[in-house]
Amino acid sequence: MFKKFLSAALATTLIVAGACLPGGVNAAGSWENTDRGWMYKVSDGVYASNEYIDGWWIGEDGIQSYSAQASWKKDSTGWWYGDTTGWYAKNTSYKIDGVWYWFNSKGYIYEKGWINGTGGWWYQYEDGSYAANEWVDGYWLSADGYWTYKPQAQWYKDSEGWYYMDSSGYYEKGGAVKIDGKVYWFDDRGYLKEYTILVPSSTAQATVSVTISADQKATAVNEMNALFSATIEKGIFKELTINGTKRTISNKDGVIYVDDKTLNAYVTDAVSKDANVSFNFNLKTTELLAGISLTDVSKYINYVKIGDVTFTNVKSENGISFDVNGTSYKGSNQDGALYVSGNVSEADWVKSLVNAGAIEKNTPITY
């Protein structure tokens, strides 16, 4: 009954579009044309291999040499993945845009639900990804995605609140855990904590201030590239201010440029002249929320300003945390909404964002 109630509560809060194309997010990397050929750099010194990215197969040596490009396709039966030669994946698994997918003997990805594979039972979501480090239908799925832990859990309620416990007596406490596709917070005693769902407006803008020092350049540029790659569509130009001067930033086939230089080259030149490079730019709040969740760019953020509200100490480790008016908050990005621990619906900063039109919905959930 609890799960049915929860689903109904969330359904009234979040509006989700129709079926989505399967696929992960390659926000953490970028293509590089090296002396050996095209390679996909995931992070410093790490390159992708034995996987598909943007439809291109990258071999074991990390080189994209196979000329046929693949893409997702859908018919009345389901989703499948094939390339321009007519080949399609079947009876195997592939890593595609950062997510592992399993294909049956006819080439279709498995439908949502429990699957008994060669390694044991696992659970697949609608987008083709599998559950891991979470509870589904009361069963714990480990990091490799398989169900090996036998005790089954369920929701319980006593005079003090809801808690989640399995048949061995173990119960969740002191942190966040994913249960049936949603993240829940539990206090140190194991009781479910209340939270507030803040749905950002699709048009509201956030001003972001980022500073990169010379010793941070290598890692910071990767995160900035990831953020802009995830939020600026190819061929689109945006303005930003760097060290007080207005510049144009663009996404050219997945490579981020500042004016006529790559972001990496621009920052390299800038830090050789100044101790720090300061960026100030605007993003939609929805883009920023997604970007912070998918990258580590928050390490370099000085502040984020939305309307009259300034967020400081923004971090994306174990969810999203931030300070407003001297008070610290914790939350997470779920389905494009910010879930903030506790009932903050009457907080001055939340009211200010609602009045400014930056938040479409502000719903406290209490159990």
Predicted local confidence at residue 68, as pLDDT? 92
Q: Could you tell me if 145 and 160 are in contact, meaning their C-beta atoms sit under 8 angstroms apart?
A: no
How many residues belong to the chain?
Answer: 367
Ranges for all domains in the chain classified under CATH 2.10.270: 116-193
- 290-321 pLDDT, tens per residue? 888 777 888 889 999 999 999 999 998 778 99
- Indicate whether 26 pLDDT > 90: no
Q: What pTM, to 2 d.p., does this model score? A: 0.54
- 221-248 pLDDT, tens per residue? 788 877 887 777 777 778 888 777 888 8
What is the average per-residue pLDDT within 140-160? 93
What is the average per-residue pLDDT within 309-337? 90
- Nearest-angstrom CA–CA distance, 177 and 319: 11
- 175-230 pLDDT, tens per residue? 889 999 888 888 889 998 888 999 999 888 899 998 887 777 777 778 887 788 77
Residue 186, SS3?
strand
The more confidently predicted of residues 98 and 140 is 140
Residue 274: what are its φ and ψ, rounded to 5°? -125, 155
Tokens of 28: 């953490």
Of 97-101, 132-136, 320-324, where does mean pLDDT reach its minimum?
Answer: 97-101
- 39-74 pLDDT, tens per residue? 998 876 788 899 999 999 999 999 998 999 999 998
- Chain-wide mean pLDDT for the chain? 83
List CB contacts of 273: < 8 A, sequence separation 6 or more: none
Percentage of the chain modeled with pLDDT above 90: 33
Gyration radius of the chain's alpha carbons: 22
- 252-289 pLDDT, tens per residue? 877 888 888 888 888 777 766 666 788 888 888 888 88
Distances (CA, A) of 270 to 189, 240, 264, 299: 51, 15, 10, 19
* The CATH classification of domain 116-193, taken from the options 3.30.870, 3.40.720, 2.30.30, 2.10.270: 2.10.270
Which candidate, 197, 206, 361, 232, places its Cα nearest to that of 298? 206
Question: In terms of DSSP bridges, do strands 134-136 and 359-365 run parallel, antiparallel, or are they unpaired?
Answer: unpaired
Return the residue matching tokens 């490079």: 277
List CB contacts of 104: < 8 A, sequence separation 6 or more: 90, 91, 110
